[in-house]
Structure 1
Amino acid sequence: MKKIVHIDMDCFYAAVEMRDDPSLESIPLAIGGSEKRRGVISTCNYIARKHGVRSAMATAHALRLCPNLTVIRGNMMKYKEVSQHIREIFSRYTDKIEPLSLDEAYLDVTDSELYQGSATLIAEAIRADIARELRLTASAGVGPVKFVAKVASDINKPDGICVIPPNAVDDFVKTLPLEKIPGVGKVTLTKLHKLGLYTGSDVQQFDKAELIQRFGKFGHSLWKRSHGVDDREVETHRERKSVGVERTLAADVKTEAQCLEVLESLYTELEKRLCPVLADRKINRQGVKLKFSDFQQTTVEHRQDQFNKTAYPLLLKEALERQQGRGIRLIGLTVGLAPKTAENREQLSFDWG
């Protein structure tokens, strides 16, 4: 039986700024872009969250919800330095570490002999180290599989821990709201609710074949999660799966011609990011992402085995069929990368059209 710990820093960027400037501690604070440039909130402290401010929210909307919100631009170099220190703390307890971002990671402590092999005590020791050395708080989830540990880390936030032992997993997933399962977004959740599925127990009683028929690969994954099954290992080396560029526009655009102008301006940056990656990787798809004025977004992807710049206008046209009269506030280009194999380690070329 595995022992997995998921560590998640509490409002990480905002917490670092409050630590470094105590005058920010008692006020609603957000890290994000300017409302004048149609910026978006990256994260916010818990005072701001009480007003309804959330990550990925437009800064202008956040300020309407919380007029006295202080919004500052982030300092990514500083956050990376703190993240490196956190990673060093993790390494004291295990070498099986899978970072998910600067502020969260999975740790496999199954083979650790520290604290008599207690994953709970190891998680508490890590949180104590972070608090003492960095003056920041972290929340932890402990469980026998990855997704249970991840969900658990959110239960007693901030500055808390939740432990789900193996014999409690079944009861845990039965009562688990489906929106808490990683990968279940708003659109999928609406579809699940229409089928009468709200908790893990509901999925357990639903026909597995029908679930897979309706939701494909995700349906199979949801079935497994709802039964407490997650056979994924903690990956210490994660391959990059995609390269992308995107731009939030100063003002909404509506026409295909306006979108094409934005695409043209994104190509140079995409080429810059993609060139070094294609030294030993092949691509397997290209895509266009649009975020509309109501903040709903859509992505159109087609399989592609060689990069072709001329594919993007066609992908854009298909994405615009979902516009429904809405303005477009963000446009992005994506390139999906095939897994590394011995066959594709040779120098690869691509055609910019």
Structure 2
Amino acid sequence: MLSDLPIRKIIHVDMDAFYASVAQLDAPELKGKAIAVGGGGPRGVISAASYEARQFGVKSAMSGQLALKLCPDLIFVKTDFERYRSISNQIRAIFLDYTDLVEPLSLDEAYLDVTENKKGLYSASLIAEDIRQRIYDEVGLTASAGISINKFIAKVASDYNKPNGQKTVNPEDVLPFLEALDIRKFYGVGKVTAEKMYQKGIFTGKDLKSKSLEYLKTHFGKSGAYYYDVVRGIHTSEVKPNRIRKSLAAERTFSENLSSEIFMLEKLKLIAEEVSKRLHKNNVSGKTITLKIKYSDFTLQTRSKTLPYYVKEAALILETAKDLLYQDRLNNSVRLLGISLSNLNTNAKIPKKGKADNSTISVQLKLKF
């Protein structure tokens, strides 16, 4: 029952077309124009697109060549992750002015638990407005926000009035909101799952809610229980300010397909050095090294090896990656190589600061967000 759950005030802040907006911020002549971050060159893949480009159907993970066909006037700009991280840190500092319970999901989005906040403000909606205004005034970018009783609904709501808007789902509105929601809007329902649900007559939250727990488990496996709960507004995951990193990786897409392991060694060396750099920066090491291989026909293969000791030096990472490369014959010419380290030495629990009170609070239908 929703009325038996802890009630929190959760905000999900999502920057609007972050990478592209940063490019337009740094180069004002690009404002109002269709731009794509990354994707330049014959083999490039787009990392992000401005809203002007999205109107033509340009989107992330699309090849630059296809994007140009859709939008002939598309302007390509290079990625600049150091710049993105710098701005992300500015934005996070604004979040921390309101609460210590900030859980970053990426450089451009985060959850905030403002049930108890540093400003002593009662309304989470007003806090979200204040945060978005400060991001615009101090950083020069726009953000969207979703506000509700848990992380799931807040995230869904943040996409509701994009760009540069926000959506509040009050406790009394949670169930009607979810019942009317298109199933494609449910966080955690991907394209393949949505198609499967359509085939079974599930188009909205109301349709999903009509299915029993047993039915959803039978047809959607382990995810069935998740779908059963979230459509009823049940999602008890807390905002965790100290999320433990599980892996670090780097990869490269080549301008021309490579057909010999010998030609790949130089590329692997550069990738291993980048992974090592990121490990040192985050002060972590790992035991499991995974080699990612994407072939010219876009099929993907991974090969892994777990070492008896932690590593973060480029030479040791490269040595293992080479062993994995030579472990078996390649299926085809290769367009991408990547190296990731997992099983990191971050397993020790990090003390939580300012953890919210998780005692059960009855839902007050007139509680204002």
Q: What interval of TM-score do these two structures reach, taking the shorter chain for normalisation?
A: 0.7 to 0.9
Q: Sort the Cα spacing of 1:252 and 1:147 in 2 relative to 1 into closer, same or farther, 3 A.
A: farther
Contact 2:292–2:339 (CA<8 Å) still a contact in 1? Answer: yes
Among 265, 268, 282, the residue aligned to 1:266: 268
Structure-2 separation of matches of 1:4 and 1:64: 41
Among 51, 57, 67, the residue aligned to 1:52: 57
Amino acid at match of 2:8: K
Question: What TM-score does the superposition give when structure 2 sets the normalisation length?
Answer: 0.76
Amino acid at match of 1:53: V
Amino acid at match of 1:21: A
Q: Sort the Cα spacing of 1:291 and 1:203 in 2 relative to 1 into closer, same or farther, 3 A.
A: farther
Could you list the per-position Cα deviations for residues 192-222 of structure 1 after superposition, in whole angstroms to 9, with x for gaps in the alignment?
A: 3333333322222223234324433333222
3-state secondary structure, aligned to 2:36 = strand
3-state secondary structure, aligned to 2:338 = strand
Structure-2 separation of matches of 1:230 and 1:277: 34
Structure-1 separation of matches of 2:81 and 2:283: 27
C-alpha deviation, 1:260, in angstroms: 9.0
Amino acid at match of 2:91: I
Amino acid at match of 1:57: M
3-state secondary structure, aligned to 1:236 = coil
Could you list the per-position Cα deviations for residues 135-179 of structure 1 after superposition, in whole angstroms to 9, with x for gaps in the alignment?
A: 211111101111111111111011101001111111122222232
Among 110, 133, 136, the residue aligned to 1:105: 110
Matched, 1:34 2:36: no
Contact 1:239–1:339 (CA<8 Å) still a contact in 2? Answer: no
C-alpha deviation, 1:102, in angstroms: 1.4
Give 1:10-159 correspondences, 5 Å limit.
Answer: 10-36=16-42, 38-112=43-117, 114=119, 116-159=121-164
Amino acid at match of 1:170: L
C-alpha deviation, 1:87, in angstroms: 1.0
Q: Sort the Cα spacing of 1:309 and 1:20 in 2 relative to 1 into closer, same or farther, 3 A.
A: closer
Task: Tell me how large the CA RMSD over aligned residues is.
Answer: 3.4
Give 1:164-203 correspondences, 5 Å limit.
Answer: 164-203=169-208
Q: Sort the Cα spacing of 1:280 and 1:135 in 2 relative to 1 into closer, same or farther, 3 A.
A: closer
- What stretches of structure 1 of length at least 5 have no aligned partner? 344-353
Contact 2:38–2:79 (CA<8 Å) still a contact in 1? Answer: yes
Question: What TM-score does the superposition give when structure 1 sets the normalisation length?
Answer: 0.79
Matched, 1:234 2:239: yes
C-alpha deviation, 1:229, in angstroms: 1.6
Structure 2 partner of 1:347 = none
Of stretches 306-315 and 1-10 in structure 1, the one that deviates more from structure 2 is: 306-315
Could you list the per-position Cα deviations for residues 274-327 of structure 1 after superposition, in whole angstroms to 9, with x for gaps in the alignment?
A: 67699977657957463765x6x656687968587588469987x96xx9xxx8
Structure-1 separation of matches of 2:234 and 2:73: 45
Amino acid at match of 2:158: S
Q: Sort the Cα spacing of 1:331 and 1:222 in 2 relative to 1 into closer, same or farther, 3 A.
A: farther
C-alpha deviation, 1:117, in angstroms: 1.5
Contact 2:275–2:339 (CA<8 Å) still a contact in 1? Answer: no
Runs of 4+ displaced beyond 6 Å: 277-282, 314-317
Structure-1 separation of matches of 2:225 and 2:105: 23
Amino acid at match of 2:159: D
Q: Sort the Cα spacing of 1:311 and 1:228 in 2 relative to 1 into closer, same or farther, 3 A.
A: farther
Tell me which of the two structures has the higher relative contact order, counting C-alpha pairs closer than 8 angstroms and 6 or more residues apart.
Answer: 2
Contact 1:260–1:313 (CA<8 Å) still a contact in 2? Answer: no
Among 256, 260, 267, the residue aligned to 1:251: 256
Structure 2 partner of 1:290 = 294
Structure 2 partner of 1:337 = 343
> When the two structures are aligned, how many residues end up with a matched partner?
331
Structure 2 partner of 1:211 = 216
Of all paired residues, the percent bearing the same amino acid is 38
Amino acid at match of 1:246: E
